[in-house]
C-alpha cells in the first residue's frame, strides 16, 4: 500500500483525471437511476414466516391498506352538498386505474342490511343525493339505526364521513399520491377535506425525504467548511478535504443506483454521515504535515508529502477499516434500509479513505505545500499543556475511575428502559399536517392503524358455530374496552345485525343467534340479497377461516402490543374449540418489524465490538491493545443506550444505527492514539513522556476530528424528521464521550497495563 501511494505521487494529474472520470460515471448513474422507496413492506424480508403468512392472509381476505378521505361539515354531514361530494369523490376514486371499484367504501357504496316482510334485504343508503328535508332525515335515521356504519363511516357527532379506498402494495406512486391530494383539495369548502392512511404517510415521506437531504447537505457543507478553515487555516486544504467527501458521496449514491438499490428514508442521512466522517482523514493528514513542517521547514514538497504518507497511511487505513466494520456489522439486520445503509456507508467511508490518500497528496504535489507560519511560543505552549494534561490525568486517576464507574451504573439503569418503535407517524413533527390529520380521524373514528386477527379451523363450517362466534364477539367487546382501540369488525357483526333486523329491529336480538341452522340461513339470505364479496372479506367460502379487523388509534408499537396481549388471553379458549390464532396485515408486520430491529441491533453491536477488538489486536499485534482500544467505544455504547432509556427515546430504523456509528467513528480516536503512542514509545522508551508526546500530536488531531464530526452530525438537528434530529444529537454525544474516553480512560489503561512496554516494572511507574 505504501509503495503504491508513493508511485501515484509521480503522476498526480493522471490520478485526479481517473477520479474525475469515475465521479462523472457515478453521477450519471445517480441522476438517471436513483429512486425513493417508502413502502414499509419493502423494508422487510419477504421470506420471513410472519410476512409469508400475512401475505397469504391478505390474499384470502383481500386485506389492503386504505387511503382515507374524511369530509367534515361542522353543520352536519346530512345536507345535499356534503352527500353529493361523498358520491362524487367515491366515483372519481372508483375510476382511478390504481383502485378496484369494489375496494372503495363510503356512505354511498355501503350496504344497509334491513328486514322486510319477505325476509331480509341489502340496500344502498342512497343512490340519488337526497334534496328534501324529509329524505335527508330518512337517510340520517337509516345510518343511526345501523351500528355497522354509525361510528365507522359516520362520526358519532354526525359531522364527519369517511371514504376508504383500499389499494394494493404495488400501485402507489408519487403521481398517484399527488392526484389523491389534488382530488381532496378540489372539494374543499365549505366542507373540510382530510386525507390520511398509511399510503399517504408513505407518500409524504417520499416527498419530504429527498427535500430534507437537499436542505441538510448544503448546511453541513457550509458548517464543515467553516470549521475546517478555522482548524486547518488553509483554503486549499479545506477545498481538497471537502472534495474528498463530496466525491465519496457521489460514488456511494451512484453505486446504489447502479446496482438497483433504492433510497430509503434513512439513506438520506448518508451524505451527512460521509461529510462528517470523511473529513477526519484529511484532518489527520494535514495535521501531521503541519507539525512536520513546523519542525522541518526545509523539507521539499515531495519529501514532506512522502513523510506524511509514510507516517499516516497506516493509521488512516486502520481507522477507515474499523469505521467500515462498524457500518458493515449492520448487515446482520434483516431490515433492508438498515442493512443497505450499513453496506453503502461503509463503501463511502472506504472511498473517502482512498480519495484522501490519493487526492490530498496529488493536490499538494500540484499546488505545492501550504504556508506554515510558526507562532511565537505556540508549539512549546501546546506541548507543555499536553504534558500537563497527561501528567494530571495520571495523578488523579482515582477521580476518573469513580466518575466513569458512576456514569456506567446510571447508563445500565437507563438501558433497561429502552423500548422499540416502528411507527411511521412518529417520524413527523407532532404539528405537521399528516400527524394532525391522522389525529383528527382517530378522534372521530375507530383508528387509522389496522391489525388483522386470523382464526383458522380444520372443520368445515367451524365459523357457523354459535359457540365459536360468541367467543369472537366476547373478545371483540374486550378488545374495544381498551382506550387505544376504536373498533373491531368481523363476521359476528354481520350476524348480530341480521339477527336484529330479522326480529323487527329489536335491540335485544343484537346478539349471536343460538342456532347454527339459523346462522346458516342468515348467511344464505345475505348471499342472495347482498354482495357476497363483502362476506369473503371476513370469512372464506367454507367458513374455516375468519378475519377480525381491529382498528387502533396509533401505529405506536407499545399500543399495538397492548392489543395483542389482550387478544392472547383468548388463545386457550379458541384452542379448546379447535381454532388456531394468527396475525396479519400492516399493523402486525410493523410489530414484527420492531423485533427485527432489536435482533439486528443486538447482533450488529456484538459483532462490531468483536470484529473491532480482533482488528485492533491484529493491527497492533497485541491482544491488550485490542482490549484497551475497545473500552472507550463500549462505554460510549452504554452511555448511548442509557440516555435513550432515561429520555424515553425509542429504538427505530433511525436510532438503531446509533451504536454502529458510534463504534465505527469512535474507534478512530483509539487507533490514532495507540498507533502514535507505539511510535513514540519505541523512540523514547519513557511511558510518561510518550503519553505526553502522543497527547500533543494525536490528541490535537483527535480534538479537531471530534469537533468536525460533532459539528457535522449536529446538522441533523435541522432535519424535518424528529428521529433524524435525535440521531444527530445522540451521535454527537457519542463522539464527545468517545473523544473524552479515549483521552482519559484509555490513557489510564495504557499506563496500567504498560502497553507495548518491554519492561513492566519501570521505575517511573512505581513512582506514580
pLDDT band for position 64 (cuts 50, 70, 90): confident
CATH homologous superfamily for the domain 378-416+622-768:
Multidrug efflux transporter AcrB transmembrane domain (1.20.1640.10)
Q: How far apart are CA 120 and CA 312, in angstroms?
A: 86
pLDDT digits (tens, 9 = 90+) for 613-624: 888 898 888 999
Q: What is the mean pLDDT of residues 605-614?
A: 84
Q: How far apart are CA 398 and CA 411, in angstroms?
A: 20
Q: What pLDDT is attached to residue 383?
A: 56
Please state whether 685 falls in left (phi above 0), alpha (psi between -120 and 50) or beta.
left
> How much is the pTM?
0.73
Cell of 393: 490525568
The burial of 725, by beta-carbon neighbours within 10 Å (0-12 exposed, 13-18 middle, 19 or more buried), is given as middle
Comparing 486 with 657, the larger pLDDT belongs to 486
Q: How far apart are CA 345 and CA 303, in angstroms?
A: 34
Q: Are 490 and 547 in contact (CB under 8 A)?
A: yes
Q: How far apart are CA 654 and CA 421, in angstroms?
A: 10
Q: Are 733 and 643 in contact (CB under 8 A)?
A: yes
Residues 6+ apart with CB under 8 A from 651: 418, 419, 420, 421, 594, 597, 598, 601, 644
Place of cell 513542517: 293
Place of cell 486549499: 236
Residues in a beta bridge with 550? 451, 488
Q: How far apart are CA 646 and CA 289, in angstroms?
A: 44
Q: What is the mean pLDDT of residues 708-715?
A: 83
pLDDT digits (tens, 9 = 90+) for 720-751: 888 888 888 888 898 899 989 999 999 999 98
Q: For 63-203, CATH number?
A: 3.30.70.1440
Q: How far apart are CA 225 and CA 228, in angstroms?
A: 5
Q: Which fold has domain 1-33+233-374?
A: Multidrug efflux transporter AcrB transmembrane fold (1.20.1640)
Place of cell 386505474: 97
Cell of 100: 378496484
Domains 63-203 and 378-416+622-768 share a fold: no
Q: Are 489 and 548 in contact (CB under 8 A)?
A: yes
Q: Give the residue ranges of DSSP H helices in 96-197.
A: 133-144, 174-186
Q: Is the pLDDT of residue 768 over 50?
A: no
pLDDT digits (tens, 9 = 90+) for 579-597: 999 998 877 887 787 777 7
Residues in a beta bridge with 164? 68, 105
Q: Is the pLDDT of residue 542 over 50?
A: yes
The residues spanned by each domain of the chain are: 1-33+233-374, 63-203, 378-416+622-768, 445-591
Cell of 578: 379447535
- Angle between the 722-741 and 658-684 helix axes, to the nearest 10 degrees? 20
Q: How far apart are CA 603 and CA 613, in angstroms?
A: 15
Q: Is 355 helix (H, G, I), strand (E, B) or coil?
A: helix
Place of cell 444527530: 728
Q: How far apart are CA 456 and CA 463, in angstroms?
A: 9
Q: If you average pLDDT over every residue of the chain, what do you get?
A: 85
Q: Is the pLDDT of residue 378 over 50?
A: no
Instruction: Kindly give the pairing relationship between strand 192-196 and strand 449-457.
Output: unpaired
Q: What pLDDT is attached to residue 337?
A: 83
Amino acid at each position: 500500500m505504501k509503495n503504491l501511494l508513493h508511485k501515484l505521487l509521480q503522476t498526480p494529474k493522471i490520478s485526479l483525471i481517473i477520479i474525475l472520470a469515475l465521479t462523472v460515471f457515478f453521477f450519471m448513474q445517480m441522476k438517471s437511476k436513483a429512486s425513493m422507496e417508502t413502502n414499509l413492506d419493502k423494508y422487510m424480508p419477504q421470506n420471513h414466516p410472519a410476512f409469508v403468512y400475512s401475505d397469504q392472509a391478505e390474499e384470502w381476505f383481500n386485506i389492503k391498506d386504505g387511503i382515507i378521505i374524511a369530509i367534515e361539515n361542522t353543520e352536519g354531514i346530512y345536507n345535499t352538498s356534503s352527500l353529493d361530494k361523498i358520491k362524487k369523490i367515491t366515483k372519481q376514486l372508483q375510476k382511478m386505474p390504481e383502485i378496484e371499484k369494489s375496494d372503495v367504501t363510503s356512505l354511498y357504496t355501503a350496504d344497509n342490511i334491513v328486514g322486510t316482510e319477505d325476509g331480509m334485504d341489502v340496500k344502498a343508503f342512497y343512490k340519488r343525493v337526497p334534496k328534501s328535508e324529509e329524505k335527508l332525515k330518512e337517510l340520517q335515521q337509516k345510518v343511526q339505526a345501523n351500528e355497522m356504519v354509525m361510528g365507522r363511516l359516520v362520526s358519532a357527532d354526525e359531522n364527519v364521513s369517511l371514504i376508504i379506498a383500499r389499494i394494493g402494495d404495488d400501485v402507489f406512486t408519487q403521481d398517484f399520491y399527488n392526484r389523491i391530494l389534488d382530488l381532496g383539495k378540489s372539494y374543499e369548502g365549505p366542507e373540510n377535506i382530510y386525507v390520511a392512511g398509511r399510503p399517504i404517510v408513505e407518500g409524504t415521506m417520499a416527498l419530504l425525504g429527498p427535500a430534507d437531504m437537499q436542505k441538510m447537505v448544503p448546511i453541513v457543507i457550509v458548517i464543515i467548511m467553516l470549521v475546517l478553515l478555522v482548524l486547518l487555516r488553509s483554503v486549499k486544504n479545506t477545498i481538497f478535504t471537502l472534495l474528498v467527501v463530496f466525491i465519496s458521496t457521489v460514488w456511494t449514491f451512484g453505486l446504489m443506483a447502479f446496482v438497483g438499490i433504492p433510497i430509503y428514508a434513512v439513506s438520506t442521512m448518508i451524505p451527512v454521515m460521509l461529510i462528517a466522517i470523511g473529513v477526519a482523514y484529511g484532518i489527520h493528514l494535514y495535521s501531521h504535515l503541519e507539525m512536520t513542517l513546523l519542525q522541518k521547514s526545509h523539507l521539499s514538497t515531495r519529501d514532506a508529502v512522502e513523510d506524511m504518507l509514510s507516517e499516516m497511511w497506516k493509521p488512516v487505513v486502520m481507522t477507515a477499516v474499523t469505521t467500515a466494520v462498524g457500518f458493515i456489522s449492520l448487515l446482520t439486520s434483516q431490515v433492508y434500509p438498515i442493512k443497505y445503509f450499513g453496506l453503502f456507508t461503509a463503501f463511502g467511508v472506504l472511498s473517502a479513505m482512498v480519495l484522501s490518500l490519493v487526492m490530498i497528496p496529488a493536490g499538494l504535489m500540484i499546488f505545492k505545500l501550504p504556508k506554515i507560519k510558526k507562532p511565537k511560543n505556540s508549539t512549546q505552549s501546546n506541548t507543555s499543556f499536553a504534558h500537563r494534561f497527561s501528567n494530571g490525568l495520571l495523578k488523579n486517576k482515582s477521580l476518573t475511575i469513580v466518575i466513569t464507574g458512576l456514569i456506567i451504573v446510571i447508563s445500565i439503569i437507563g438501558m433497561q428502559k429502552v423500548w422499540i418503535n416502528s411507527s411511521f407517524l412518529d417520524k413527523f413533527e407532532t404539528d405537521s399536517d399528516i400527524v394532525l390529520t391522522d389525529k383528527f380521524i382517530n378522534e372521530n373514528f375507530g383508528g387509522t392503524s389496522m391489525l388483522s386477527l386470523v382464526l383458522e379451523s380444520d372443520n368445515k363450517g367451524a365459523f357457523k358455530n354459535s359457540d365459536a362466534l360468541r367467543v369472537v364477539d366476547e373478545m371483540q367487546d374486550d378488545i374495544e374496552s381498551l382506550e387505544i382501540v376504536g373498533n373491531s369488525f368481523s363476521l359476528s357483526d354481520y350476524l348480530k345485525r341480521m339477527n336484529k333486523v330479522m326480529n323487527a329491529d329489536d335491540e335485544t336480538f343484537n346478539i349471536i343467534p343460538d342456532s347454527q341452522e339459523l346462522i346458516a340461513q342468515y348467511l344464505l339470505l345475505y348471499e342472495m340479497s347482498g354482495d357476497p364479496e363483502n362476506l369473503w372479506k371476513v370469512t372464506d367460502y367454507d367458513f374455516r377461516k375468519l378475519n377480525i379487523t381491529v382498528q387502533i388509534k396509533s401505529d405506536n408499537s407499545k399500543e399495538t402490543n397492548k392489543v395483542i396481549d389482550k387478544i392472547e388471553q383468548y388463545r386457550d379458549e379458541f384452542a379448546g374449540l379447535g381454532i388456531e390464532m394468527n396475525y396479519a396485515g400492516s399493523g402486525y408486520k410493523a410489530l414484527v418489524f420492531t423485533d427485527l430491529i432489536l435482533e439486528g441491533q443486538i447482533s450488529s453491536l456484538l459483532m462490531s465490538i468483536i470484529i473491532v477488538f480482533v482488528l485492533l489486536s491484529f493491527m497492533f499485534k497485541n491482544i491488550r491493545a485490542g482490549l484497551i482500544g475497545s473500552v472507550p467505544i463500549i462505554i460510549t455504547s452504554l452511555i448511548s443506550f442509557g440516555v435513550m432509556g432515561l429520555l424515553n427515546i425509542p429504538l427505530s430504523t433511525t436510532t438503531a444505527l446509533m451504536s454502529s456509528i458510534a463504534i465505527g467513528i469512535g474507534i478512530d480516536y483509539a487507533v490514532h492514539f495507540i498507533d502514535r503512542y507505539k511510535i513514540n514509545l519505541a523512540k523514547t522508551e519513557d511511558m510518561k513522556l510518550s503519553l505526553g508526546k502522543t497527547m500533543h500530536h494525536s490528541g490535537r488531531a483527535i480534538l479537531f476530528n471530534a469537533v468536525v464530526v460533532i459539528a457535522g452530525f449536529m446538522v441533523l438537528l435541522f432535519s424535518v424528521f424528529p428521529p433524524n434530529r435525535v440521531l444527530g444529537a445522540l451521535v454527537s454525544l457519542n463522539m464527545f464521550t468517545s473523544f473524552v474516553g479515549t483521552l482519559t480512560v484509555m490513557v489510564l489503561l495504557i499506563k496500567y497495563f504498560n502497553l507495548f512496554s518491554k519492561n513492566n516494572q519501570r521505575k517511573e511507574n512505581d513512582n506514580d
